[in-house]
Amino acid sequence: MKSRINVLYLTSVYFVPLIYFCFAILFSPETALLEPDSSGYIHFSPSRTAGYPVLLSSVALVTGDVSNVVFFQIILFCVCVSFLLKRCWSFEFGWLMVSAVSVVSFFNPFFLKYHYSVLTESVFFSLIAIILTCFIDLFRSPKNRKSWIVLGGCIGCAVLVRPVGISFIPLIPIIFLLIYFEKRPGNWKMMVSSIVVFCSFILIGQVVKYSFHGDNKESLFPLVVFAKSALVEAGPAPYLTNDPRYVVWSDLENDTEQVREILKQAKDVNFAVEQYLRQNYEVFFQFQYEIDTEKFSKEKNYISIDDLKVDVGMHRLMRSFPQYLGLIAKNYLDLWGIGAAMIPAFVDDGNYFIERNAPLPFNENGGVVSEEMSARAIGIFIYPLMMAAWVLSIIIIILGVFFRRNYAHFGKSFNISLICSLMVNGNFLFISIIGVGVARYSLEMMIPISLMVSSFILCLFKVCSRINKVTDV
C-alpha cells in the first residue's frame, strides 16, 4: 500500500507536471498570442502596474524575443502547481485534493490559451498556487517564518501583476486569526513580517513605475467608473448648463436610455443573453464611447477628460446607488455562473433576440457585439457545477463564522476550505465592484475553488469517521 502511495505521489507531483510541460511546449505557437491588452504590457502603459511589463522586458533582454515569455509562463506554472500538489499530499486522503487540483490545472483546456498569451493570467495562476501552498504550510506550522515571508511576497507580486490581487491582502491577518481560533500558538510578529514584505514589493513596484513614467498618474479607474455609471439611470444632471459635466451627464443619460431598455428586454428572454450584452456594453463604454468635447463652453473647458469621467461617474453611481449594488450583484453572480452563456438553449434564444433587435444600440459597425453567442455543450456541465461550488462556499463561510471556536474539531482541511472560500468570494466581490464579471476572471480562481471543494469533502470524511468511532464505542 505504501509503495502504491509513493508511486501516486511521484506521478502527481513530478511526472504529470513534466508531461504537461512537454505537451504545452510541443504545441505552443511560434510566437506568443497577442490580445488587445498585450500592447499595454509590452510597451508598459502608465495605466499598468509594473510587475508584468518588467517580466516581459527581462525576457526580451535575456532571450531577445518577448514571445519567449510563453516558455517562462509554462515552466513557472508547472513548478508552482507541483509545489502545491506536494503540500496536498501531507493530508490523510490527500489524493482527493491532489486529484481535484491536477484536473483543474493540467486538464483544463482554457488555461493553455493564457499560457500562450502575452497576458497576466498565466503568471497570476502560478502566484495563486504558491499562495495556497503557503496557506497549507502555515496551518501545519504557524511559526514557519519562511512561509509568512513568501506569502507576503507572493501577494505583493500578485498586486503588481494584476491590481485585483489587492483582494488577497486581508488574507494575511485572516489566516493568523484562523490559526488563533484553532487554539494553536501563533506569533503576531510573523504576520507583521509578511505585511512588511508585501509593502516592500509594492514600494519597489512604485519606484520602478516612477522611473519609467514619472508623475504620470494615468489609470483605468476613470474608464471603469464611467462605464458602470452608463448602465444606471441617474436622471437630470446636477450641474449648471454651461458646465462640461452637465453636457457629458446629459448626453450619457440620453445615449444609454436605449441600452438600458434593451437589457431589460434581454432579461425577460433569459439571464444569459442579458449577461452577455451587459458585459459587452460595459466594455464598450470603457473604451469606445466618445465624449463630444465640441459641446463644451470654451471658458469652462478646464477639466481633464479623466477627471470629468470620475466626477460624473461617481455622482451618477452615488445617486443611483441601489442600481449600482444590483450591478455589483450581477457581476458577482456572472463570475460564479461561468458557462451559462454557452448553454445551447440559452444561446439559441439569445441569438434570436439579438437578430430580432438588430441593429443594437451603438452596434451599427459591430462595436458592441461583433459576433453571435457561441454554444458549447460543456456549458451544461460547468454552470451547475460552479453554482454548486458557490452555494458550498457560502455554507463554508457560515460554518466558519458560527463554529469559529471549534475549528480544531474540524481539522486543518476545514481551514483550507474556509480560507479558499474567503479568497475566491473576496476576489469575485472586488472584481464586481471595480470590473466586469467576464469568464477569464473566473478562470483565475479555478485552482482555489477545486481546493476548497476537495478539502471540504475531506473534512466531511474525517467528521463522519469520528462519528462512526463514537457510535462503535
pLDDT tens digits, one per residue of 300-327: 555 788 889 999 999 999 999 999 999 9
Helix (H/G/I), strand (E/B), else coil: 33 = strand
What φ, ψ does residue 28 adopt, rounded to 5°?
-70, 145
What φ, ψ does residue 161 adopt, rounded to 5°?
-85, -45
Residues paired with 33 in a beta bridge? 117
Task: State the Cα torsion 295-301-303-309 to the nearest 10°.
Answer: 0
Residues 272 and 340: beta-carbon distance below 8 Å: yes
pLDDT tens digits, one per residue of 25-67: 998 887 778 888 899 999 999 889 999 999 999 999 999 889 8
| CA 372 remoteness from chain centre | 25
The whole-number pLDDT of residue 364 equals: 81
The whole-number pLDDT of residue 183 equals: 67
What single-letter amino acid sits at 11? T
Which residue is associated with the grid cell 514600494?
203
- CB count within 10 Å of CB 161 equals 26
Look at residue 408 and tell me whether its pLDDT is greater than 90.
Answer: no
What single-letter amino acid sits at 105? S
